């Protein structure tokens, strides 16, 4: 009876093996969802399956697949029983199949020798650690620390002699172990180098003239009820890819709104070129943790305060680069009569949003090589509601800056990124656009306008020093003159300041501010005024400083 059961089992196993079919399938990505970090690759395949077990091997995949994020599905009369991710090494497989004695013998001997040397190194390290422990016990003995209750000169001399002999023996043994460890390590390194050389020799020996690359595969095992076609679709997450947003902000004149061009900088180094593939850009990041945060105990302590001087100089956009470093502007396109205007990629982008992320589906096929470089894809262009305003701080310099205020900024962009600023066809500089702030309006500096001038000058006949019984009074008066040479009126914001006192004996008194808004805490003065076309306007700033007669009040500048 046992023999019959064994025979039936063998027949069943032979039949199952005989009916199992393995197919190597080369596919092309149908769609790739690119996240800010990583990408999701979608592939489809139509496979002929035979009744029974079928092994379908998808070859030529990316080198950075997250094995825990492989998903396989499909339609047809079959059952998916198993999914595997394997790395296929062609040269080693050839050597194993041919039974290469050199491969088996040399590599096994070297591997066994390396293991044996590791055991020897471990034994040496254990003995050396024991000596180190013994040395520590000796040095911490109370006799040598002066803590022994049996202290005497003779006893101490005897103890120090013993200590010297023991330390000499321990140090000598440790030096021997060090030399022996270095010799063994040299032997081990030589074996590792030899192992690598044999592998290279083996690869060259089995090379047919064409370099065969390592093949990254996904193996799908299915059971089919009958012969037919199986429509398989599978997707997986890869790590060596991503995108980041960048923007162009283009202002033509103060009469037109700013145009924002939203671009994606896409990069990938997956080992496979993405050729003629549909891209979907997602603002999601699968690597980000979505675990709920928890509060920890909050302990208070003492800190030391340090004062730092602040520079309030207004120098335009702090992140702006020089024009010499600027990239060239877009080439001008000359459209001849009867020719069709060129279209842009952003006309082929659709946007979908949910509660967590935003996706930009590009309806054009793209080519992204696996070179790790940045490749640009235009997503969309928006016409932004813009308010233009001039700004100046004549106390610091005589420049008048043209600024653009863009309200409702949170509704404009979903991700922060770098932005290149252009005005009237010229590159102005670069800034960073951020989301998630408390301000809903963004102010951009468009550079210095030479058609608007400003000057702050001291009025000498209204600036003086007077003495009273115990006090002296300094009065300062300034005139701020604005000249608009443009053909249209402008709106300008001007900032100045009054000094602040931290001494009750020094009193600052406002005399004339020409309607400026005054901030008590900071001492800032702010004007917002209109200057008509081809016109000049003046503001007066006057204040007094009262202080004790015999004291000297220091001014950094007036």
Domains in the chain, number: 4
In terms of domains, do 471 and 537 share one?
A: yes
In terms of domains, do 382 and 425 share one?
A: yes
User: Is the residue at 281 inside a domain?
Assistant: no
In terms of domains, do 468 and 488 share one?
A: yes
User: Is the residue at 201 inside a domain?
Assistant: yes
Structure tokens belonging to residue 512: 């004339």
User: Is the residue at 358 inside a domain?
Assistant: no
User: Is the residue at 3 inside a domain?
Assistant: no
In terms of domains, do 193 and 117 share one?
A: yes
Q: Write down the pLDDT at residue 346.
A: 55
Buried b (16+ CB within 10 A) or exposed e, 456-468: beeeeeeeeeeee
* Nearest CA among 267, 225, 271 for reference residue 52: 225
Last residue of a domain, one of 419, 448, 477: 448
In terms of domains, do 105 and 190 share one?
A: yes
Task: Give the Cα separation of 200 and 556 in Å (integer).
Answer: 73
In terms of domains, do 65 and 159 share one?
A: no
Q: Write down the pLDDT at residue 5.
A: 38
User: Is the residue at 48 inside a domain?
Assistant: yes
Task: Give the Cα separation of 488 and 402 in Å (integer).
Answer: 14
In terms of domains, do 259 and 127 share one?
A: no
Last residue of a domain, one of 448, 481, 510: 448
User: Is the residue at 304 inside a domain?
Assistant: no
Last residue of a domain, one of 408, 428, 448: 448
Q: What is the pTM of this model?
A: 0.58
In terms of domains, do 402 and 262 share one?
A: yes
Structure tokens belonging to residue 83: 């999914």
3-state secondary structure 232-270: EEEEEEECCEEEEEEEEEEECCCCCCEEEEEEEEEEECC
Q: Give whole-number Cα distances, 45 to 49, 67, 187, 198, 309, in Å.
A: 12, 20, 52, 39, 67
In terms of domains, do 68 and 152 share one?
A: no
Q: Write down the pLDDT at residue 243.
A: 93
* Residue 374 near residue 265 (C-beta atoms within 8 A): yes
In terms of domains, do 119 and 65 share one?
A: no
The CATH number of whichever domain residue 530 belongs to comes to 2.60.40
Q: Write down the pLDDT at residue 329.
A: 34
In terms of domains, do 465 and 537 share one?
A: yes
Q: Write down the pLDDT at residue 327.
A: 38
User: Is the residue at 136 inside a domain?
Assistant: yes
pLDDT in single tens digits along all 558 residues of the chain: 444 434 433 434 444 444 456 889 999 999 999 999 999 999 999 999 999 999 999 999 998 899 888 999 988 888 999 999 988 877 666 655 555 665 666 677 888 888 888 888 888 888 888 888 887 777 776 655 555 555 566 666 777 777 788 888 888 888 888 888 888 888 888 888 777 777 776 666 555 444 457 889 999 999 998 888 899 999 999 999 999 988 898 988 888 899 988 889 999 999 899 999 999 999 888 877 666 777 777 766 555 544 444 433 333 333 433 333 333 333 333 334 445 555 555 565 666 655 457 888 888 888 999 998 999 888 888 888 888 899 999 999 999 999 988 887 767 777 788 888 898 888 888 888 777 555 677 888 888 888 999 999 999 999 888 888 888 988 999 999 999 999 889 999 999 999 998 888 888 999 999 999 999 999 999 999 999 999 999 999 999 998 888 877 766 455
Q: Write down the pLDDT at residue 352.
A: 60
Task: Residue 130: give the domain boundaries.
Answer: 101-205
In terms of domains, do 85 and 145 share one?
A: no
């Amino acid at each position: 009876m046992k023999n019959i059961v064994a025979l039936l089992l063998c027949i069943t196993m032979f039949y199952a093996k005989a009916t199992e079919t393995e197919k190597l399938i080369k596919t092309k990505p149908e769609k790739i969802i690119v996240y800010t970090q990583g990408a999701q690759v979608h592939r489809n395949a139509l496979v002929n399956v035979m009744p029974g077990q079928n092994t379908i091997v998808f070859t030529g995949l990316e080198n950075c697949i997250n094995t825990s994020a492989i998903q396989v599905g499909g339609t047809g009369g079959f059952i998916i029983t198993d999914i595997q991710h394997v790395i296929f090494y062609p040269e080693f497989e050839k050597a194993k199949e041919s039974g290469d004695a050199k491969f088996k013998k040399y590599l096994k001997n070297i591997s066994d020798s390396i293991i044996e040397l590791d055991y020897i190194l471990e034994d040496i390290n254990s003995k050396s650690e024991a000596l180190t422990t013994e040395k520590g016990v000796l040095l911490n003995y109370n006799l040598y620390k002066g803590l022994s209750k049996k202290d005497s000169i003779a006893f101490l001399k005897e103890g120090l002699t013993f200590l010297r002999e023991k330390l000499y023996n321990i140090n000598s043994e440790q030096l021997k172990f060090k030399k022996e460890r270095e010799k063994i390590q040299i032997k081990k390194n030589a074996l590792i180098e030899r192992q690598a050389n044999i592998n290279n020799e083996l690869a060259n020996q089995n090379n047919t003239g064409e370099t065969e690359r390592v093949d990254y595969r996904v193996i799908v095992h299915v059971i089919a009820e009958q012969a037919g076609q199986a429509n398989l679709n599978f997707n997986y997450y890869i790590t060596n890819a991503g995108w980041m947003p960048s923007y162009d902000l283009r202002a033509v004149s103060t009469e037109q709104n700013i145009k924002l061009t939203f671009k994606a900088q896409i990069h990938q180094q997956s080992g496979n070129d993405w050729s003629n593939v549909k891209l979907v850009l997602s603002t999601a990041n699968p690597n980000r943790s979505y675990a709920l945060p928890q509060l920890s105990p909050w302990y208070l302590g003492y800190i030391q305060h340090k004062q730092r001087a602040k520079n309030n100089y207004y120098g335009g956009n702090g992140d702006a680069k020089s024009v010499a470093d600027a990239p060239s502007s877009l080439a001008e396109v000359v459209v001849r009569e009867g020719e069709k205007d060129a279209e842009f990629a952003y006309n082929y982008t659709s946007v979908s949003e949910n509660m967590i992320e935003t996706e930009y589906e590009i309806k054009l096929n793209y080519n992204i090589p696996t070179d790790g470089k940045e490749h640009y894809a235009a997503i969309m262009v928006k016409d932004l509601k813009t308010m233009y305003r001039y700004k100046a701080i004549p106390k610091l310099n005589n420049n008048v800056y043209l600024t653009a205020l863009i309200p409702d900024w949170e509704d404009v962009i979903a991700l922060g990124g770098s932005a290149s600023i252009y005005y009237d066809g010229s590159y102005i500089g670069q800034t960073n656009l951020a989301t998630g702030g408390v301000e809903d309006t963004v102010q951009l500096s468009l550079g210095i306008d030479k058609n608007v001038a400003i000057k702050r000058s001291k009025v000498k006949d209204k600036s003086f020093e007077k003495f009273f019984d115990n006090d002296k009074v300094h009065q300062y008066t300034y005139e701020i003159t604005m000249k608009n040479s443009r053909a249209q009126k402008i709106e300008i914001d001007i900032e100045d300041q009054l000094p602040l006192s931290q001494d009750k004996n020094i009193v600052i008194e406002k005399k004339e501010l020409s309607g400026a808004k005054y901030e008590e805490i900071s001492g800032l003065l702010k004007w917002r005024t209109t200057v008509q076309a081809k016109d000049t306007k003046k503001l007066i700033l006057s204040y007094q400083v009262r202080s004790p007669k015999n004291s000297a009040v220091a001014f950094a500048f007036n």
